[in-house]
Structure 1
Amino acid sequence: MLKMKPWKWVVLAIFTYLILLVAYIPAAHVLAFVQKNNPKLPVSIGSVEGTLWSGRVDKVIAQGIAINNLRWELSPWSLLLGKASIDLNGGKIRDTQQTYVKGNISASLFNVQNISAQELKLFLPARSVMAQVPMPVPVTADGRFRVDIQDFEFNNACINLAGKGSWLKGTVSGPTGVIDFGNFDANLACEGEQFSIQILPDNKLNLDAKVLLSVAGKYKINGRFKPASDLPKEVHQSANFFGAADSQGYRNINL
């Protein structure tokens, strides 16, 4: 029979108690503590169930984007490696008016700026996203943005990004009605410390452009476009704001 000195039994009992305390602490208590100590946190969190390791929140709202029925699984083994690895699953993938998320996000316990993601899938209602983007003229867009990230690392700047993005069944409400722009596809990457969005030209605007976005929110757009002949007259008229077309009918974008 294993013999231990009394003080060792006390240490083992305390250690076991702490493990059980952390394992079964309600997630609602943890989130309440985080919100109390971070009153300016730009996230609204609804009703929470479960523990720190496995739980559910009925709604999360960040930057005007809502995710319903968000579930998480936190890997305890990842904590031994100095990071928090969380599997997320929330929203409805087939509901075009809802956000959907599924994948893994990791964050360093020693550097809050160090965030990574693997096999992350996002669907975002275009109307909700565009409502957060400052535009020179009001634009009501519909459809859904899809983002598929194979690998991503951020450490106060874009370190590594491999993924694809799409605007599915994109429409814009114009003075004469709804304009159907169809689908747009793009490749996502890092360029220097900036996020790069390379829009592929197989779309109704023949838009071939690169968008560079900094962490500070500054952007630069370079490319060209030529509206398809079957698009409404107002689209062709609006294209004139970008200057005269070249010999092939393209107009340059340099913003």
Structure 2
Amino acid sequence: MNRAEKAALQLQAVAVLRMLKETRTYDELAELSGLPAGDLNRYVNGHVLPGVERAREVVDGVGRDALATELRARVEFDDEGYVDNSGIVFDQSFLDLVAPVAANALGFERPDVVLTAATDGITLGAAMAGYFDARVAYAKKSKETAVEDFIESRQRLASGIELTYYLPGRAISRGENVLIVDDLIRSGETQELLLDIAKQANADVTGVFALISVGDEGIDRARELTDAPVGALSTFDAE
């Protein structure tokens, strides 16, 4: 880890601690993190930065648990099992905190491109791309009017509906590393289509990540299709 990466990790830890401090006293934050209240005060107020190892503990441990808890508090399900995650996908500052936590917890290799599906995955894709200093690309269910060359992936769902995603051919180049992300994974059908797009582009998949997993079906399906790390920030029981 070079000096810039160390500094970035330390600042990410401070950002996580500041988010947690918004709803906690320093004593409560100390109990949660296992760090002295006095040290936390200095970190949160910007007087000093945590050491690299302590910063890693905050981001990988406390950060993931805290963000997962925050996510669960913001997500709502209706009577038919549909998910309202607008409180998450419209909060770019929250997603910017998720990016380093997910990257460190799941051990994703640095991608050249973060690939997602329009539209709810775009804000997470932007956050992950910003963290990795990568490009973001998103597949759509319709073709761009002025684009001639597309990668097309099509699948007939269990319901009988045919789902097709299109990505401009120049969005991903042969041999590039691609991280696939989306806001939600339930059946894994969208992830399968995105994995197929990456395969058609002759790209290497470095991981699959979702904010929310509803049940394990989608995660298991993605793991059958790639050897790269697959995971979600928080898992909800399937109804």
TM-score when normalising by structure 2: 0.29
**RCO comparison, higher one (Cα < 8 Å, 6+):** 2
Structure richer in strand, relative to its length: 1
Structure richer in helix, relative to its length: 2
TM-score when normalising by structure 1: 0.28
